[in-house]
Amino acid sequence: MLGLAALPLSADEPKPVTPAYNHLTDKEEISLGRDIAKELEKQRKLKFIEKHSLQDYVNHVFEKVVKTSRRPNLPYSIKIVDTTELNAFSLPGGFVYLNRALMEFAQNEAEMMGVLAHEVGHVVGRHVANNISREDAADSLMTEASRTLFGDDTPARLVKQIASPVALLALLKYSRDQESEADMLGFYNMQRAGWNPQGMITFFERLDKDPEGLQSIMALGSDHPASADRAARISEEMRNFPAAPHLILSSDGFKEMQAELKKLPPAPKPSAEVAEN
277 residues of the chain, pLDDT tens digit each: 333 444 566 667 888 888 888 888 899 889 888 888 888 898 889 999 999 999 999 999 999 999 999 999 999 999 999 999 999 999 999 999 999 999 999 999 999 999 999 999 999 999 988 888 777 665 543 344 334 443 444 434 433 433 343 456 666 788 889 999 999 999 999 999 999 999 999 999 998 887 666 555 544 445 567 888 999 999 999 999 999 999 999 999 999 999 999 999 999 987 644 433 3
Number of structural domains the chain divides into:
1
Residue 14 in domain: no
pTM for this prediction? 0.83
Residue 197 in domain: yes
Residue 228 in domain: yes
Residue 16 in domain: no
Using CA atoms, how far apart are residues 125 and 53, in angstroms rounded to an integer?
31
Residue 15 in domain: no
Determine if residue 151 is left, alpha or beta; phi over 0 gives left, psi from -120 to 50 gives alpha, anything else beta.
left
Among residues 123, 99, 102, 122, the alpha carbon closest in space to that of 111 is found at 102
Using CA atoms, how far apart are residues 17 and 176, in angstroms rounded to an integer?
16
Residue 85 in domain: yes
Residue 222 in domain: yes
CB–CB of 172/221 below 8 Å?
yes
Residue 115's domain spans which residues? 2-9+21-276
Residue 31 in domain: yes
